Amino acid sequence: MRRLLSWAGDLLGSVLILGTCVLAAAVLIQSRALVYLLFALPSLVAAAAGAWRGRASPLRPWLLLAVLNLPTLAAAVWLGAAEGAWPVLALAAASAAFSCLGVWLVAGEGSIVQSGPGGQSGPRAARGRRWRTALALLLLGNLGLALAIPRFVSSLVVHRELREPAPAFQLALLDGGAVSSRELRGRVVVLDFWTTWCQPCRRELPELERVFERFHDRPEVAFYAVDADRSDTPDNARRFFRETRYRLPVAYDHGSKTYAAFAAPGLPTLVVIDRAGRLRFRHTGFVGAEDFAGNLSRFLERLLREG
């Protein structure tokens, strides 16, 4: 019975590590302030779980580390394969490294022999050195990971500056009529492909609305939130914008023809076309910690200065 409870504790440790990593990937990464805890929170939980189970588990250290970390690594691989978000493997690897640190911290406690005139001074000194080393590695490791956060966040979205002819397109406007690439020639055009069922799209649209509000009184820039069809309907798009009260002009891409013409690799995908009808920017995916509105605003200002 005791062994069964111990194994249950090992599984609980793996669930704690996996749950903390999921929390970090789903919540912390959407905040520009909290994102700096993205690696710190899982690393603390992983180190604590490693120390807890390293002291109590009957498993060999290597087998214990496998039990603690394989669920998180498997989830990261699945997410990478399904969504192309392979950088999340760094989060799983970091938690695995810190769980190793926790196991190492307590691994030698039972084998420390008493020494020194005080009887306990030897073990206490050795234990103190281990704790100081572990704390230093924990702090230095998290500091290094925090410094890498901006680069890590940018790796989660695909964005490229381009200079190639944009495909011709025509879109149906939800408030009536249509708009075509020929009519928009001479203006900087922002097309954002989204759908009502896409959660990253829903998080991105408020940021795009902010950029639109900044430029909406400048006729040389045109914005369209393009429902990319993809099993959606114009009624869904109309209802969503009515409920959210966004002022962005909304278009519908029947048959996803424009979405395909721009070779959009996923949703949301935003493209920017310059005055000469050239595709200048493609951005796929959305992470709240990225300065999406600021980066897009600065890019549009640059294109407008180019004339």
110 pLDDT more than 70: no
CATH number of the domain where residue 167 is located? 3.40.30.10
- Whether residue 292 sits in one domain with residue 253: yes
* DSSP for residue 255: G
* Total domain count, the chain: 2
- Whether residue 110 sits in one domain with residue 9: yes
Position 122 confidence tier, pLDDT thresholds 50, 70, 90: low
- Whether residue 179 sits in one domain with residue 118: no
Spatial separation of the C-alpha atoms in residues 138 and 41, rounded to whole Å: 11
- Whether residue 123 sits in one domain with residue 28: yes
- Whether residue 140 sits in one domain with residue 89: yes
% of the chain at pLDDT higher than 90 = 76
125 pLDDT more than 90: no
Write the single-letter amino acid at 258.
Answer: T
- Whether residue 190 sits in one domain with residue 92: no
- Whether residue 41 sits in one domain with residue 147: yes
- Whether residue 224 sits in one domain with residue 137: no
Spatial separation of the C-alpha atoms in residues 21 and 26, rounded to whole Å: 8
* DSSP for residue 60: -
Residue that finishes a domain, picked among 154, 177, 192: 154
- Whether residue 134 sits in one domain with residue 177: no
Poorest-pLDDT segment among 102-111, 127-136, 149-158? 102-111
Contact assessment for residue 159 and residue 284, using Cβ atoms and an 8 Å cutoff:
yes
Write down the pTM of the prediction. 0.80
pLDDT of residue 113: 43
Residue that finishes a domain, picked among 104, 134, 154: 154
- Three-state secondary structure call for residue 291: coil
204: left (phi over 0), alpha (psi -120 to 50) or beta: alpha
Q: How far is CA 283 from the centre of its chain?
A: 14
Tens digits of residue pLDDT in 50-75: 999 999 998 999 999 999 999 999 99
- Whether residue 209 sits in one domain with residue 107: no
pLDDT of residue 156: 85
- Whether residue 190 sits in one domain with residue 298: yes
Count CA atoms closer than 13 A to 258's CA, side-chain side: 26
Q: Residues 45-53: what's their mean pLDDT?
A: 95
Q: How far is CA 20 from the centre of its chain?
A: 15
Q: Residues 274-299: what's their mean pLDDT?
A: 95
pLDDT of residue 129: 86
- Whether residue 167 sits in one domain with residue 133: no
Q: Is the dihedral of CA 256, 260, 261, 263 positive or negative?
A: positive
Contact assessment for residue 215 and residue 221, using Cβ atoms and an 8 Å cutoff:
yes
Contact assessment for residue 181 and residue 169, using Cβ atoms and an 8 Å cutoff:
yes
Give the domain extent around 282: 157-306
Residue that finishes a domain, picked among 154, 189, 204: 154
pLDDT of residue 3: 76
